[in-house]
Amino acid sequence: MDRTVDRAQELLGEASEKGWAVAKEAWTATRLYLATEEGRRLRKGVAAALILGAPIVSELPVLRRTMLGRALRVAGVGALMVKGAEWLRDWEPPAGPAV
């Protein structure tokens, strides 16, 4: 019986190592793809979908009724305030006269 358990643990360890190797390879391939022009377009599209979808998702009743949903809404408002403050801090107005 112990021999069967040892063999099972050995096989599980090998499978785990192979799984990590495949995951690392997939992550590397994904990063390389996202660095291409097509990957840039994909990132831009996904970001736009998330930006447009976030307010819609936050209005779902299932999220509005839960404590987690309310916390996410508060965190979202806080994140928007921080991003706005960062934009204001980093903004450089043109030096010439206002037109």
Q: How confident is the model at residue 96 (pLDDT cuts 50, 70, 90)?
A: low
For the stretch 20-61, pLDDT in tens is 999 999 999 999 999 999 999 999 999 999 888 887 887 888
For the stretch 73-94, pLDDT in tens is 888 888 889 998 998 899 887 7
pLDDT at residue 7 in the model: 86
Cα 30 to Cα 17, 21, 78, distances in angstroms: 20, 14, 31
Tell me the three state secondary structure of residue 19.
helix
pLDDT at residue 1 in the model: 62
Q: Is the pLDDT of residue 6 over 90?
A: no
Among 94, 54, 49, residue whose Cα is nearest residue 73:
54
